[in-house]
Structure 1
Amino acid sequence: MQHRKRSSTWRHQLVGSLAACLLAASASGVELNISARFRPSVLSPQTMQFENTTPQGSYCGRWPTYCTDKKFSITFPVSWSYPSMKSGETDPRKGVYIKVPNTFRTVQVVNSQTGQTSQLRFRVSGMASTFNLTRSLMDITGASNFIEAHDKLWVSSYWNYPSGKCTRITDAWASDRWGAAIWGYPESADGCYKLAAYTIPAPGISMTDAGLMYELQTPSPLELGNGEYKGSLEYRIGPGQDFDFGDTATADASSVKINFVLSVAHELKVNYPDNARQVLLEPAGGWAVWLQQGRAPGPLQRDIPFTVASSGNFSVRLECQYTVGRHCGIANGKQLVVPVATALSMEGLRVKDSGQKAARTPLSNAAAVVFGSQAASAARRSQLHFTVAAPDVTAMAKQSGERFVGTVTLVFDAGAI
């Protein structure tokens, strides 16, 4: 059933009306959780935002098809009531009055595994609620049908048109004893309200199925390592507090703690050519100079091309079959071990600590080098550079007929910060 009036759409849910109940006072606190995750695909590097993973609740949980175009609501686990309401009242605080913390607050979030900290900003941008009556609106207003009764009951039109500086976010769902909608709270808004045009006698009005819309300004996921980042805010409930329901309301909680969890799971893919598993080190120009002229061959080298796709910081370190100081080594059967210097070049990446471009950056078995960028990439052209210095090649040349071999393992870690 659908009826339009004053550009407002009302929906009638064909179920029994919600039973109203008065709520007892309580000093208890409640909690709710807000979560978001960053799980990018290097095949879609332009996607660099956190995704809201908080389950829909309240208005949008019940009528999700009417919460498109970025409208949403999450469950706000607080109910409150008004014992009665007089017609002709002009004081907003003696009507259905709802004030929310609609200005931004800063929250520190911490990765408990790594200790990395960051900050997010949060504000409430909308409030969903359902008012409930024990008598039908037709009984109270004398209207012939519930749609007309909803229009007559409240000063300034239907429930989804709040008074004050708030805005209409959604259409309203309603029956002959209840109505539900979301009010929008710009940062300039104070408390918003509805005043009754008819007296609503005891037991009055109960407010249920509350929900929040919010704005969450998150840090850049490129600056965060993998893991969960947690933080919280606590708001007070009551007259003059963060959540303020007016002078006559009785709420079933005195505070609400909002817990935030940001989950980060960067993607890292390294692709080598099929023939890169075995690296043959040779002098520039090959072995001919040494074999034909008897001259020292100079340093042994090999560059290996590969690609790396990443969405955040990552580190690279060496693991060695033979260790020579900070380098890996190769050895012959007589246990002569010579160092192999390993360096890394990656297009568009920089060394995090120094800010220098990743161009022949030395790698070590002692400490990982962390690399980062300002954007994700599906495939960065990269090279590994292996070098045996000329003095070590001279020592190798004295071992005529010997073969020098060794395993060098590169460990890429997307969990780096």
Structure 2
Amino acid sequence: PGEDSWYRLAEPVVDIVIRELGEASKDQYAGVADALNDYLHNDFSGAPKLEFARVVFRAHLLAEDDIHRDASLALASDLLSTAERMYHRRDYFHAVEYCREVLCQRPRNYDARYTLVRACIKLGDFVEAGEEIDKLRANGYLREAAFLTGFLERHRGCPREAIVAYRAALQRGYTGIAIQRELAQCYLTLDMVGEAKTHIDRASRNGYDNPYVVDLRIQIATKERDETAAVEGLAVLEALDEAEFYHHRRSTVLAAFGKNEDALDAARSALEEAGRPTFAMLTQIAVCEIRLNRLDDAAEHISRLEREFTNHNRDIQIGLRVQLEIAAQRYDDALVLWNSLTDKSLLVHLVLRRNAIAGLLSGSLTQGRRVSLSDELAELDSRLPGYYDVGYALPTKD
């Protein structure tokens, strides 16, 4: 190989070498492990870390002595720590890679499987996430499996199913801020503000200055049309959280109180600060652009959202398309899309239907259809008295 490149032997070649020369001895495996360790510690120079780690891992295990066995355990711990760092940086693809490598060597490692499930969910790989949750359940981690099932259902866009799973986790003894804030977020999505407050109060007992908790309090204040409390919460969030998350939440608050140009500026700042914009960030900038009739820009951001988060919150993605059609005055198309929503009972979705029907009634219709739609509009208005649409309730980091 050249100075900065490496070669890998194809498996058929490896098989031939082993057949002709025999398997390496334990001492030889130990020598390979030690030499690679020295190289990686002294001259990393861009080496492919995960690939080399796999070789070192196998060499340590095949050496079959206490020193190298302990080294393999330490390496597994390092890989898991790296996976968790990748997860928190939102580099979910590499988090999955590292977790899988740990599980290849330590199939019953709980922490690796737990992180793997969360990373798969963030990537929208719900099938693998479900399979890994089943493995946790089979290994006796019932409360953890219930919590992760709730996490999976929320990202699917099924808050009611998520609440059922989270409550099962609580009954089995799952505790901490995370489950309380998750429940609060689900109840907010369903416009059940009282229940959301209950769980946020419980989360606050363990850390009021947690940015997730502060973010939820801002969302609640916004839902309750308390601009002063929302702005005060933003000042706290700015000191606690990263810039992109602060700008995103600031955008949602500004938009909720009708300051749409400023909201768009804040949404743009969130995207500029974020190396990997979250689902919520792309949703918010599209909403701002629709409200300002920048429909081509909104369409681009919705398409990006659909590309990068294929399986996430499908109802929200459909809802954005409905908003886009309404803004473009394609009301019949908006209703066709609306009919594909999974949960049509959410207030935010009823508002979309009301707006599409109101748009249709502003044009020319047959008398029969006008009467039918007028009756439906009156019925929807009666179900939405005083409801102010502040958009979808989404965690900043989703």
Regarding TM over 0.5, the answer is no
Q: More relative contact order in 1 or in 2 (CA 8 Å, sep 6+)?
A: 1
TM-score range, shorter chain: under 0.3
TM-score (norm. length: structure 2) = 0.23
Larger Rg over CA atoms: 1
TM-score, length basis structure 1: 0.22
Structure showing the higher strand proportion among its residues: 1
Q: Which has more helix, going by share of residues?
A: 2
